[in-house]
Amino acid sequence: MIFNRSLKEYTGYLALQTWINQAVALCQPSEVWLCDGSEEENRLLLERLVKSGTLTPLKNGCFLARSDPSDVARVEECTFIVTETKEEAGPTNNWMDPEEMGAVLSQLFRGSMQGRTLYVIPFCMGPLSSPFAKIGIQITDSPYVVVNMRIMTRMGKDALSTLQEGAFVPCMHSVGRPLKKGEQDVPWPCNTANRIIAHFPATKAIWSYGSGYGGNALLGKKCLALRIASCLAREEGWLAEHMLIMGVTNPAGVKKYFVAAFPSACGKTNLALLKPALPGWKVEVVGDDIAWIHLGEDGRLYAINPENGFFGVAPGTNWKSNPYAMEAISKNTLFTNCALNDEGEAWWEGKTKEPPAHLISWLGKEWRPGGEEKAAHPNARFTAPLSQCPILDPAFQAPLGVPLSAILFGGRRSDLEPLVYEANDFVGGVLVGASLASETTAAGGGAVGRLRHDPFAMLPFLGYPMGDYFAHWLSFKARTKEELLPKIFAVNWFRKDEKGDYLWPGFGENIRVLQWIFERTEGTAEAKEVPFGHIPAEGTLNTEGLNLKEGALEELFRVDREGWLKKLEETKNYFGLFGKRCPPELYREIERIEAAFVRP
């Protein structure tokens, strides 16, 4: 065991030692490395990774990894919720029986780390001093995972110091490629034919096999902070959400916090790091992907970011679309599946207006512009510490989180959904979240551009039945005064005209929409009532200095009655999938909107 302090010094030692012993007996590694999270350790691991060909050093302390071409995204079809009955996992999850899964996993993991090092990663999701933080212990045979987890979480000794006996989420991970004596390793070991990412809500355990990529392997993120956390949140009365957290300050210096849920790769990082196009407005970021939301003693909702880094989609990120992200990733960043330019920097589609004349592609091949193949994979990622972000919110480490004034739901929809509207009330807002649908992206591993329901942007990340989740959201209404709950809004930056061009410029100009939302939460912005809520009254959305195409604004807020009635009907059909678990309040809200459409 390589660690300069004995495990016995930690309160949580007994249960942890047992867990490590079991893992060692099962996986049969050739050495065990308990990670302390230090600079020195990180340097050693990076050296190992460069030597093994997994990482290529870049400028400014950055590194590039090229994954196996078959291991490039989360794999939703290989992700399971393991419960006694299928009903407990719910109709939106893949399910397996615990005994059956136990048998599959013990076979896969037996000897899976032969010839490799077993790393033990203690990590904390949430600020170390937060009563809402959760400790995870990830066991992995991937040093690439260790160096990523060090950026994405509070990892090592500090996390271990806060461990109480037995109070950790056990996270077991293997790339599934044992090495025979003398066998040469490959740069990106994986076993994609046998990938399985299994979650056990009853014991809160996570077992992941066969993939080294992103959310499949960095188990603090989607597995712990969303799927397992959603189960904990249901039991303990809070919410674990796929949401960014941002602070918005107006020119008068008043600050409010918003959270926003968007499906994967729909612009959460860009919105969280928005550089306002309007003078006097300021945006600061608390988190770009996950929010843990608790009811405060004052009856308001508060959010913490359980993560400590960005694991963002690189393609499309540039100095215009997201200058603060570009700054954050300018040093000490791990790039995965980006291309490599001749200056020793990572490159991806959209980084520069014109692609460089020569690159090495994410596949490690010579690349020149004009061909069919992309230089970077569409789901290429950067892993960068939040601390490097120039607009990190000062309350980022606040143990109880930041108070919320608004909740936004958004998808990628080329038609129907207006640029922004406010829901009728809290129940109406829960309906907005529950009926969220979006065009699919490269992050989920399946077909791209297909409209699919993605309630609360949580479809791939909920650990229990969707209908119960809707009811859990609604339960907050009875637990506090409605006027203390954040107002709920829907946004859609992706509306297109009949030629297929975007109607709204997006990016920094989205502050105009945030301004209206901000002012609605203060009760100062005027609104026009529509059946599904309120849209900005004419002239209320600040479009000064914006050169919108003629008719664009009208189109962005056009209420397509037939389209909406069809959507409501279709939403009812979709909710039918959840049977009796779907709360009747949501059907009543749909009926209320339908009736308002029918009334002259």
Q: Which residues bind ligand OXD (CB under 6 A)?
A: 74, 214-215, 264, 289, 311, 443
Q: Which of Mn ion, ligand OXD, none is residue 126 near (CB under 5 to 8 Å by kind)? A: none
Q: Which of ligand OXD, Mn ion, none is residue 214 near (CB under 5 to 8 Å by kind)? A: ligand OXD
Catalytic-residue membership of 124: no
- What are the tokens at 234? 């249901």
Give the residue with the Cβ less far from Mn ion, 68 or 454.
Answer: 454
Give the residue with the Cβ less far from ligand OXD, 454 or 589.
Answer: 454
Shortest Cβ 288–Mn ion spacing (Å): 8
Give the residue with the Cβ less far from Mn ion, 117 or 333.
Answer: 333
Q: Which residues of 95-114 are buried (b: 16+ CB within 10 A; e: fewer)?
A: bbeeeebeebbeebbeebbb
> Which residue has the CB atom at the shortest distance from Mn ion?
289
- Contacting residue, 71, 284, 289, 349, with Mn ion by CB under 5 A: 289
CB 486 within 8 A of CB 407: yes
Beta bridge partners of 536: 527
CB 324 within 8 A of CB 312: no
Largest CA distance in the chain: 79
Give the residue with the Cβ less far from ligand OXD, 238 or 461.
Answer: 461
Shortest Cβ 476–ligand OXD spacing (Å): 24
Q: What does the alpha-carbon distance between residue 403 and residue 298 come to, in Å, rounded to a whole number?
A: 10
- Taking CB under 5 A as the binding criterion, the range among 171-179, 203-211, 258-266, 347-355 that sits at the site for Mn ion is 258-266
For tokens 């991806």, the residue is 348
Q: Minimal CA–CA distance to 310: which of 241, 235, 374, 218?
A: 218
Q: Which of ligand OXD, Mn ion, none is residue 266 near (CB under 5 to 8 Å by kind)? A: none
> Which residue has the CB atom at the shortest distance from ligand OXD?
264
Give the residue with the Cβ less far from Mn ion, 264 or 492.
Answer: 264
Q: What does the alpha-carbon distance between residue 375 and residue 364 come to, in Å, rounded to a whole number?
A: 9
- Taking CB under 5 A as the binding criterion, the range among 86-94, 150-158, 256-264, 340-348 that sits at the site for Mn ion is 256-264
DSSP string, 152-221: HSEESHHHHHTPPTT-SEEEEEE-S----TTPPPPSS---GGG-EEEEETTTTEEEEES--SHHHH-TII
Q: Which of Mn ion, ligand OXD, none is residue 74 near (CB under 5 to 8 Å by kind)? A: ligand OXD
Q: Using CB under 5 A, which residues numbered 259 to 278 contact Mn ion? A: 264
Give the residue with the Cβ less far from ligand OXD, 210 or 214.
Answer: 214
User: What residues contact 529, with CB distance under 8 A and at least 6 apart?
Assistant: none
DSSP string, 206-233: EEEES--SHHHH-TIIIIIIIIIHHHHH
Q: What does the alpha-carbon distance between residue 137 and residue 13 come to, in Å, rounded to a whole number?
A: 12
Q: Which of ligand OXD, Mn ion, none is residue 510 near (CB under 5 to 8 Å by kind)? A: none
Shortest Cβ 491–Mn ion spacing (Å): 17
- Our CA dihedral for 470, 472, 473, 479, rounded to 10 degrees, sits at 150
- Which member of 35, 62, 223, 266 is catalytic? 266
- Taking CB under 5 A as the binding criterion, the range among 96-104, 173-181, 283-291, 300-308 that sits at the site for Mn ion is 283-291
Q: Which of ligand OXD, Mn ion, none is residue 311 near (CB under 5 to 8 Å by kind)? A: ligand OXD
Write out the catalytic residue numbers: 266
Chain residues binding Mn ion by CB under 5 A are: 264, 289
